[in-house]
A and B are shown apart, each in its own frame.
Chain A
Amino acid sequence: MTKRYWTFLPLVLFLFVVAFFWRGLSLDPHHLPSTRLGKPLPSFRMPLLYDPQTVLTPALLKGQTVLLNIWASWCEACIDEQLFMLQLAREGTIIYGLNYKDNNESAKQWLMEWGNPYKMVAEDMHGKVAIDLGVYGAPETFLIDSVGIIRYRHVGPLNASVWRTEFVPRIRQLEHKV
């Protein structure tokens, strides 16, 4: 009787390996979970793109749910999301821009070309604030609640389906709490 059980062992092992690889190979290592979720924004003082004398601080972002979008003029994928960003801004979403490792001139030129959906754009020329945020590429979009806690991070271009499935439910939940 025990012999019959043993003949099934290879099949069981095979199924185990299939399940393992099925799960393992469907994970995308380029989409890392953010370790900053549920944590407050790091403290920063970034000069504004259009007014370098003024600085953007986390305190300015408080009071409402906002998006913080990391972009750069050298970032090809940022162009893909810009139309959707403009649409979001038109619909009333407040978006702040973090210009990541860019220079002032080309950033302004880029915004003129592709449109400016941002309430304010701050410059992180050396990527220091980005390191504090755990940013590893552009574009990335953070959802920040009204007290400045990071609630969600999306890596890659934002589009309507990501917005619907990942952002809208979280924003609803946040507004429900308030």
Chain B
Amino acid sequence: MKQWLWLLLSMLISTSVFANTMYPFGTVQQDAQFNHLLRELRCLVCQNQDLVDSNAGLAKDLRDEVYQWVRSGKTDSEIIAFLTSRYGDFILFNPPVKAVTVLLWMGPALFLFMGFCVFWHSCHRRNGHD
């Protein structure tokens, strides 16, 4: 059992080392930016995976592209603007606040408010009856 755990652990560590040697960066900041961006971006082929996890051909191409852009010093917003202009907001796991997504962002607060209204109303009524 213990051996299996060690094997699993070493496999986990080896993949992260492997990922770093595949995409070497000059600075720690760029490395962090690259990893953070890949977590934000959706693979469009296997749609619930991000660009880090996906083995799809397109995901690899997009990883390579993002790598080149990060190395050439592009900012997050420049890279995201380029990718959304090609693939739409769907490539982002966090959709931007827009007219069509406002319900998505405000929905939870709205439902909480509605629930509170119902709660307040029923409390009020019960007090009235008593």
What is A's interface to B at a CB cutoff of 8 Å? 6, 9, 29-30, 32-36, 101, 126-128, 131-134, 136-137
Instruction: Decide yes or no: A137 and B45 within 8 Å by CB, A32-B87, A35-B87 being known contacts.
Output: yes
Contact present for B61 and A127 (CB under 8 Å): yes
A126 to B68, alpha carbons, bound, how many Å? 14
Are B44 and A127 touching (Cβ within 8 A)? no
- Add 20 more A-B contacts to A6-B121, A32-B44, A131-B61 (CB < 8 A): A9-B118, A32-B87, A32-B88, A33-B88, A34-B88, A35-B84, A35-B87, A35-B88, A101-B61, A126-B61, A127-B57, A127-B58, A131-B62, A131-B65, A134-B88, A136-B44, A136-B45, A136-B58, A136-B87, A137-B58
Give the interface centre of A32, A34, A126, A128 by most chain B CB atoms within 10 Å: A32
Restricting to B45-97, which residues have a CB under 8 Å from any CB of A? 45, 47, 57-58, 61-62, 65, 84-88, 90
Q: How far is the CA of A128 from the CA of B60 in the complex (A)?
A: 12
Main secondary structure of the interface of A (DSSP, over half): loop
What is B's interface to A at a CB cutoff of 8 Å?
44-45, 47, 57-58, 61-62, 65, 84-88, 90, 118, 121
Cβ–Cβ < 8 Å partners of B88 in chain A: 32-35, 134
A125 smallest CB distance to B (angstroms): 11
Contact sample, A vs B, 8 pairs, CB 8 Å cutoff: A30-B47, A32-B44, A35-B85, A35-B87, A126-B61, A127-B57, A132-B86, A136-B45
User: What residues of chain A lie closer than 8 Å to B87, measured between beta carbons?
Assistant: 32, 35, 134, 136
Residue in chain A with minimal CB distance to B57? A101
List of B residues within 8 angstroms of A126 by Cβ: 61
Q: Known contacts being A126-B61, A127-B58, is A29 close to B85, with CB within 8 Å? A: no
Q: Report the separation of the CA atoms of residues A126 and B47 in the bound assembly, to the nearest whole angstrom.
A: 21
Q: A101-B57, A136-B58, A137-B58 are in contact. Are A131 and B86 (CB under 8 A)?
A: yes
Q: Are A134 and B61 in contact (CB under 8 A)?
A: no
Residues of the B chain whose Cβ atoms lie less than 8 Å from the Cβ of A33: 88
In the assembled complex, the CB of A78 is this many whole angstroms from the nearest CB of chain B, namely: 15
A176 to B31, CA, bound (A): 53
